[in-house]
Structure 1
Amino acid sequence: DVAEGSKGRSNLVTNPAVINEVESDDPNNGPDWVELANPTNEKIDVSGLILKDSKDDKPYTIKEGTSIEANGFLLLNDLTFGLGKDDSVRLFEGDLLIDSTTYSGHTSPSWGRYPDANGKEFRSTSEMTPGKRNKFAGIPDLIDWPGKGEVSIFDKQPTFLEDSSGLDFADGKLYAVDNGTATFWELDVDKDDGSMSFVKGFEKGKRVRFQKDKDNAGAKGPDAEGITVDSKGMVYLASERDNSAKGVNYNTVLMVDPSSEGNDLVAQKEWNLTSLLPSVSANMGVEAIEFVEADNVSLIDKNTGSAFSMDKYDQSVADGVFFVALEDNGHVYAFVLNNDGSAVLISDIDSKLGGAMALDFDTSEKVLWVAADNGYGNRSARIKLNGTDNPEITHVLPPSGLDVNGNFEGFAIADASYAIDGERPVYRFQDGVKEGALVIGSLATTK
């Protein structure tokens, strides 16, 4: 195994090409090679970029007229230098270093960026894949988005707030939440044409406060990153901290009745999950929550060592399991939330994405989706709960029309009854923008 690698990416606006895979010791005595990747959705020109190893005496200049297709790769196997043990590969734009990696020993079998094209680290691959996506031991296969590439924008003018975060789709409605204010919205979705309109009373959303702040209308409130709806229509928000104490991680779930009068609600129930989850920095905690009805939960309960059964949890607030995702490690934790405010952790699933920002259970396909943000190329993991400790996981690229640099923190899929021409809506919510936050794509239905 290779000991370590480094990524030296310039902070300036530069050519977006990155070093993606390196081969220094071809088992068939072939030439050393370097693969570049284009992590963007547009074709890029890489003419004139310069590659070097750890020395400066034999630079390789990429020929004029050379380009890399959108999300594509470029194999360079006619290098002017040879790669040896304990060597480096550096990519320059003029005199400016824009990317680099260093490996120990020889590459074995090759040295690749992880995750492929968009990752922040390098590691040994499981096999050489020149001109193709990198493969790593224990990492799920990566597939193209299983739907159309086009996406459209719902809010072409300011409609939500600026800290857009979680989404959920339930009973013909799209639910959305803002993490800066813990304000959530309900939108009716039309089955015939997919159009959306705010449910009466939700034109400006409804704000949620902690129970401790019931007498303090000026409280800054939860950093509500995720939202979900149970089978009774109750809304649950997942918060990673109190906005009045941003330096402290405080992973909580708050329950409200969305039909309650007024636009300023106090949580009816709360669950503090902080001690049940790994210790993380304040802004790397719970990012998403998803309710899954008990009949669809097929996993091993860590408390019993056997198949999960709702019958063992007769104090549960709802007839199902609440999955929460941790941004820090990309893991998904399954909880039963009890009426008395206690919570029971029943499972820990590693999505193998490295980070996680959103969750959605596809009730039509019976799979749990985990979505990462632009730090991981807005990729997703599709998890099939198969009744074992090793659920089936597939990694999925975003649709080609999605801006992979966008910080999408919300993800939700409409059920199959909303399909139009074999494609059903997929919603994403982008943080940090005043308009263009809610983006709509599609997912192919399966027969």
Structure 2
Amino acid sequence: MRTHWRSQAPVTAVVLTFLALGLSGAPASAQTQAQAAQAAQATVRINEVESNNGSPGDWVEIVNTGSAAVDVSGWLVKDNDDDHSYKIAKKTTLAAGAFLALDVDPSFGLGSEDSARLYNGSTLVDSYSWDDHADTTYGRCPDGTGAFTTTTTPTKGKANACGTTGGGGGQPVHGAWPGGSAVTNADGSNVFGENLSGLSFESSGVLWAVNNGPSKLYRLVPNGSTWRPDTTGGWSKGKALHYPGGSGDPDAEAVVSTPEGLFVATERDNDKDSTSKPEILRFDGSATSSSLNATAEWNLTSDLPSLPENGGFEGISWIPDSFLTAHDFRDEHTGAAYDPASYPGHGSGLFFGGVEDNSTIYAYALNQSGGGFTRIATVASGLSAVMELEFEPATGHLWAVCDDSCQGQSAVLDINAQGQFAATAVYDRPSGMSNYNNEGFAIAPQSACVSGHKPVVWSDDANDGGHALRAGTLNCTA
């Protein structure tokens, strides 16, 4: 994102709702009304599910996480069978922060291996799947935004009973940074300036970085205890990025190095910076040209909620199929265990994109010929915003990182018994680091461990104090 301002989902919903009324009291256009509906829809979430011995039967609770009421009249709740449907009554409005328990019995019953899916017309708003009945209920912790876990007791129509500890029935553990407290500058003075965003280590030890405006890709190499742009191959000042064919200035917010190449996540085209355009682009990092045109493009606008132009993709990570299948990752598209063979041409792993505006992570199988994609999972990050994602192969953690808007906290997500990524811990930033506008985070390979610690690097979009890169350490837990 551009430095010093950002949009929040509740504000967006309020603004769009105001516009839908018309500035002069006149009816708004159908397009504006649709945008308002989409923005409001994004604040309603499934919050708690009772699938066994409920009162009077099975029920699904929804919550409005926004700051404005949402009309949910006619919305549908389904289980994993499209023929099983419960329709919310007419004139049903869900106030801001309110809970609504829907008694889906006798329309249908929820099974021990089932799903709860919430629809607004034909649009899937939210879903949750499980493999066995909960001892109590399954609920989000914290309400509306956190990952689903087993609650300590059913709380129909009320805030969830989450307990106080992580690891089986409560909120994620909150603790100090699991590494060294010291943080040092990791670049020369004003080498990058503002807008340095995502980071990603290559297995060779090269550190890739992107600048979001104007869009650039940097190949960074060690320079003693710091990092500098590679002086070979035309990389000394970074390389400008463009869409396929050479057009535009993609707002590059995140980068990840994979066996299929370098992939960059964007919020918009800076040449048309008032319009949201959440995309993933692939680039050839071995190209010798002075600027780089994307070799493939995936426009995910149609699959995501309506987003402000400055609230789209901020983080991207890649997780190999071998890890996901070994840990029984659940494919929400099929409702079964993830099977890579179901997505021919997608490569050897899935891409996880973090959206700033709704603090949600979306997993995709991308057809490597470009364009085609399938959403595999939707994951609550456990944070109020996502500015970076980083997969740590040694531990199986998916790290979600926030900026100064949430005091530089990081959440660790792991695959749970239901086959879903869920937050298991939230860590404070290292005590030796100020509350910088960090939008990038990269963990060095496990082979870089020395005396039980491995390097990590943050990128500061604001270039505070003339430095955009800072280095610290993380415990080498396996």
So what's the TM-score if we normalise by structure 1? 0.65
Aligned residues: 312
Quick one: distance in 1 between partners of 2:360 and 2:219? 28
- C-alpha deviations, 1:156-211, integer Å up to 9, x for none? 31211421110111211111100002201112348xx7654433232211111012
Give, in angstroms, the shift of residue 261 of structure 1: 1.5
1:323 aligns with 2:355: no
Matched with 2:338 is 308
Matched with 1:431 is 461
Change (3 A) 1:386 1:204: same
1:398 aligns with 2:425: no
Listed as ranges, the matches of 1:68-87 within 5 Å are none
Listed as ranges, the matches of 1:22-171 within 5 Å are 139-171=171-203
Quick one: distance in 2 between partners of 1:225 and 1:128? 36
Quick one: distance in 1 between partners of 2:360 and 2:265? 15
Secondary structure at the aligned position of 1:296 is classed as helix
1:268 aligns with 2:295: yes
2:375 to 332, 336, 345: 345
1:252 aligns with 2:279: yes
Give, in angstroms, the shift of residue 329 of structure 1: 1.7
Matched with 1:84 is none
1:223 aligns with 2:251: yes
Tell me which stretches of 4 or more aligned residues in structure 1 moved more than 6 Å: 123-129
Matched with 1:174 is 207
Instruction: Compare 302-311 and 366-375 and name the one that shifted more.
Output: 302-311
Secondary structure at the aligned position of 1:381 is classed as strand
Q: Which has the larger radius of gyration?
A: 1
Query: Structure 2: which amino acid aligns with 1:145?
Result: W
Query: Structure 2: which amino acid aligns with 1:228?
Result: V
Quick one: distance in 1 between partners of 2:251 and 2:313? 10
- C-alpha deviations, 1:322-379, integer Å up to 9, x for none? 0000001211110011124111100011012121000100121111100011111110
Secondary structure at the aligned position of 1:211 is classed as coil
Give, in angstroms, the shift of residue 414 of structure 1: 0.5
Change (3 A) 1:431 1:197: closer
Matched with 2:361 is 332
Give, in angstroms, the shift of residue 399 of structure 1: 0.6
**Structure 1 unmatched runs, 5+:** 1-111, 116-122
- C-alpha deviations, 1:95-124, integer Å up to 9, x for none? xxxxxxxxxxxxxxxxx9xx9xxxxxxx98
Matched with 2:237 is 204
Q: Is the 8 A contact 2:438 2:458 kept in 1?
A: yes
Quick one: distance in 2 between partners of 1:244 and 1:265? 17
Query: Structure 1: which amino acid aligns with 2:182?
Result: E
Quick one: distance in 2 between partners of 1:410 and 1:179? 11
- C-alpha deviations, 1:284-312, integer Å up to 9, x for none? 11111111111122421011111112111
- C-alpha deviations, 1:418-443, integer Å up to 9, x for none? 12222111110001227211010100
Listed as ranges, the matches of 1:410-429 within 5 Å are 410-429=440-459
Q: Is the 8 A contact 2:398 2:413 kept in 1?
A: yes
Give, in angstroms, the shift of residue 248 of structure 1: 0.9
Query: Structure 2: which amino acid aligns with 1:184?
Result: L
Matched with 1:285 is 312
Q: Is the 8 A contact 1:300 1:387 kept in 2?
A: no
So what's the TM-score if we normalise by structure 2? 0.61
Secondary structure at the aligned position of 2:200 is classed as strand
| Fraction of identical pairs, as percent | 32
Query: Structure 2: which amino acid aligns with 1:280?
Result: L
Listed as ranges, the matches of 1:377-388 within 5 Å are 377-386=407-416, 388=418
Change (3 A) 1:340 1:124: closer
